[in-house]
Amino acid sequence: MKQYLASEDRELFKGHGLASFEALWSRALPAVDQPNTDRGGWSAVFRLELEGRGYYVKRQCNHQIRTLRHPFGEPTLALEFRNIQRYRRLAIPALRAAYFAVRGSDEGPQAILVTRALEGWHELSHWLSDWASLPDTRREAILDACGALVRRLHRAGQRHGCLYPKHVFLRESDGRYESCLIDLEKNRPLLFGRSDRLRDLEPLVRRATSWSDEDLRRLIAAYLGRGATQGRIDGWLSGFAQRSADKASRG
């Protein structure tokens, strides 16, 4: 069994006897939420604290996905781990992996993925819940950070595939915001140009219901960067409206 253990976390994990699959599998940890059982097996997330550092431990058994690369199935955590590493190579801000491995069992493949907790970061939903009371400068900084993050993602030729406010994380520092992405399981290559880009960004626009038309224009301007003319911004907003209308017509 091959396993990945990040060099930055190796000594800490070894010091606590957690540098092996069995140790991480059997360690009693508090659950973050209810197990996911929608693929015939199960997948669960736990919280791990080591000397003031936070981690999330994802464990799976027979929780698989079929892809062209793996037509007979592989653990969904394997796909997420590959995408985390791909984002790192492409310098797309995202969560980081500390450990990953897969092993066989009588119940099906078992997988573990440990990621570092984003301490000091908050999901975009946190800011949206009190959006109207934020000063204009903070709202503009958040919109700029979100737009720039998705622009960087798409310029790297990647499509997140599940771009909801809960998957965009932000950290404030001196009035500015850093941004990054989590939940990379559905990431895919960006193949169809503007169509894929519009499709990827639309869920964020649709679910951020606190944003006004002016906010959306700021977001799209940040996303387009130097090419952000009023005509192009109008075109993107029309594209979002058309996708929403198409979804409504399909019921």
**Contact between residue 163 and residue 207 where contact means Cβ atoms under 8 Å apart:** no
Domain regions of the chain by residue span: 3-116, 122-249
Cα 124-55-49 angle, rounded to 5 deg: 125
Average pLDDT along the chain: 93
Please give the single-letter amino acid code of residue 1. Answer: M
Nearest of 248, 234, 152 to residue 200 by alpha carbon:
152
Please give the single-letter amino acid code of residue 108. Answer: G
- With tokens 């396993």, the residue in question is 3
Query: Can you identify the CATH homologous superfamily of domain 122-249?
Result: Transferase(Phosphotransferase) domain 1 (1.10.510.10)
**Which residues make Cβ contacts (< 8 Å) with residue 23, sequence separation at least 6?**
17
Integer Cα distance of 158 and 191 in angstroms: 9
* Percent of the chain as helix, strand, coil, to the nearest 5: 45, 25, 35
> What CATH code would you report for 3-116?
3.30.200
Nearest of 60, 139, 62, 154 to residue 107 by alpha carbon:
62
Nearest of 152, 220, 219 to residue 190 by alpha carbon:
152
**Which residues make Cβ contacts (< 8 Å) with residue 119, sequence separation at least 6?**
54
Q: Which tens digit of pLDDT belongs to each residue from 75-101? A: 999 999 999 999 999 999 999 999 999
H/E element holding 214? helix 213-224
- Fold match between 3-116 and 122-249? no
Pull the structure tokens for residue 8: 């930055």
Please give the single-letter amino acid code of residue 13. Answer: F
pLDDT tens over the chain, length 251 residues: 789 999 999 999 999 999 999 999 999 999 998 988 887 899 999 999 999 999 999 999 998 888 777 777 789 999 999 999 999 999 999 999 999 999 999 989 999 999 999 999 999 999 999 999 999 999 999 999 999 999 999 999 999 999 999 999 999 988 899 999 999 999 999 999 999 999 999 999 999 999 999 999 999 999 999 888 999 999 999 999 888 777 766 76
**Contact between residue 211 and residue 205 where contact means Cβ atoms under 8 Å apart:** yes
Integer Cα distance of 141 and 131 in angstroms: 12
Return the number of other C-beta atoms located less than 10 Å from residue 103's C-beta.
14
Q: Which tens digit of pLDDT belongs to each residue from 42-69? A: 999 999 999 999 999 999 999 888 877 7
Integer Cα distance of 4 and 84 in angstroms: 12
Asked whether the whole model's pTM tops 0.85, one would answer: yes
Pull the structure tokens for residue 152: 């960087």
120-137 b/e with 16+ CB inside 10 Å = b?
ebebbeebbeebeeeeee
